Amino acid sequence: MFKRLSIFVAIIGIFFAIWVVATNNPKVEAPAPANPPSVNPFERGVVALGLVETATRDVQIAAPEPGRVVAIHTEVGRPVAKNDPLFTLDTTQLDADMLRAVAARNATKADLDRIKAQPRPEDIPPLRAAVDRARALHDDAADRLRNLELAAEVNAANPDEVARQRFAVLALRGSLATAQAELDRVLAGAWEPEVRIAEANLALREAEIEALTKRIDRLTVRSPIDGTVLKRDISEGEYFAAGASVAMVLGDLQHLRVRAQVDEEDTPLLRPGAKAIGRIRGPFDTRLELTMLWVEPLARPKRQISNAATELIDTRVVDVMFDIAPKPGVTLYPGQVLDVFIDAGPDNQP
């Protein structure tokens, strides 16, 4: 009897516990969403992820070669014009090379001036004197030869002596020709091929200076566009490794566009010039009118992830570019995400 009573009490306790749990479970209402959801305004439309970008795209600026940053010429948010300096790398080594190149150029130019200044006025009198001396010796020897030849005709001179004198005249004639040729060479001035070689050497030195000038100017990185500095990742004194990172990012904030990533399965619904609306994510239901510009005819893997539970990483998309109609009080930033809705037309349209 006691055993049956215990089982009965236990069953009653179980039912009582179930009743307590069932009656004490308060109904919790689902919290309201933090931001209003995006709703497709078109009866039949394509939904895409849109990214705000500048008309010039984001221009990523890097240094042409590694070096230490010695000057920053602009800051984030400042407008820059084309060819305005952005930052400068250290040019100490190139400045030293320039000093050597300028000295070498000056030495080469001085050598060219020396060649072109020939003959030196003080070089001519000694050469003329040498010619006169050689002529006098030659004439004296020729006169002695004539006298010996006359004496030989009356057997008053030895034939061997006449022959030796004739050879002496020939030797002195050669000495006279040599002295005259040396004088003529000096009087002719600089030799044209030698001048051209010196001019070529000077041109080479000038080219070295111009090359160093271009390299020094190259280390002052300039803006390739009219735009605004969107980002800066370098500071003065920092060593910048070329190719390792981006120093600055530029873009034209006056002309913004939207790049919508349309899923490849929705591309048959795209129509040229279709209406489109972009919604800014956030606490306000802000919508912007978009004008289709073009469809980029290249499908690619999707890179921007929207964190949707149904989104696949291997999704392929086609980019559609839109122009944004300005709206007072609305500020957009390059890289900002928009929900883009594109009108696909009536259901019976192919």
- Find the Cα–Cα–Cα–Cα dihedral 83, 89, 91, 93, rounded to 10°: -140
10 Å CB burial of residue 222 (0-12, 13-18, 19+) is middle
Per-residue pLDDT of the chain (350 residues; tens, 9 = 90+): 555 666 666 677 676 666 665 666 556 565 655 566 667 777 888 888 899 998 888 888 988 888 899 999 999 989 999 999 999 999 999 999 999 999 999 999 999 898 888 888 888 888 888 888 988 888 888 888 788 777 777 777 778 787 888 888 889 888 888 988 887 887 777 788 888 999 999 999 999 999 999 999 999 999 999 999 999 988 898 888 866 678 899 998 888 899 999 988 888 888 888 889 998 887 777 888 999 999 988 888 876 655 555 555 667 889 999 999 888 888 888 888 999 999 887 754 55
Let me know if residue 20 belongs to a domain. no
Helices (H), 117-250: 124-153, 159-187, 192-218
Q: Is the model's pTM score more than 0.75?
A: no
Judgement on whether residues 245 and 322 belong to the same structural domain of the protein:
no
At residue 348, the pLDDT reads 46
Let me know if residue 19 belongs to a domain. no
**Of 334, 321, 335, 254, nearest in space to 290 by CA:** 321
Let me know if residue 36 belongs to a domain. no
Judgement on whether residues 198 and 227 belong to the same structural domain of the protein:
no
At residue 58, the pLDDT reads 85
Let me know if residue 122 belongs to a domain. yes
Judgement on whether residues 76 and 106 belong to the same structural domain of the protein:
no
Return d(Cα 302, Cα 279) in angstroms, integer.
20
Judgement on whether residues 186 and 246 belong to the same structural domain of the protein:
no
**Of 222, 281, 286, 269, nearest in space to 64 by CA:** 222
Return d(Cα 41, Cα 340) in angstroms, integer.
10
Judgement on whether residues 228 and 273 belong to the same structural domain of the protein:
no
Domain that holds residue 74: 59-84+222-250
Judgement on whether residues 105 and 206 belong to the same structural domain of the protein:
yes
Domains: count for the chain = 3
Let me know if residue 349 belongs to a domain. no
Judgement on whether residues 112 and 157 belong to the same structural domain of the protein:
yes
Chain Cα centroid distance, residue 186 = 53
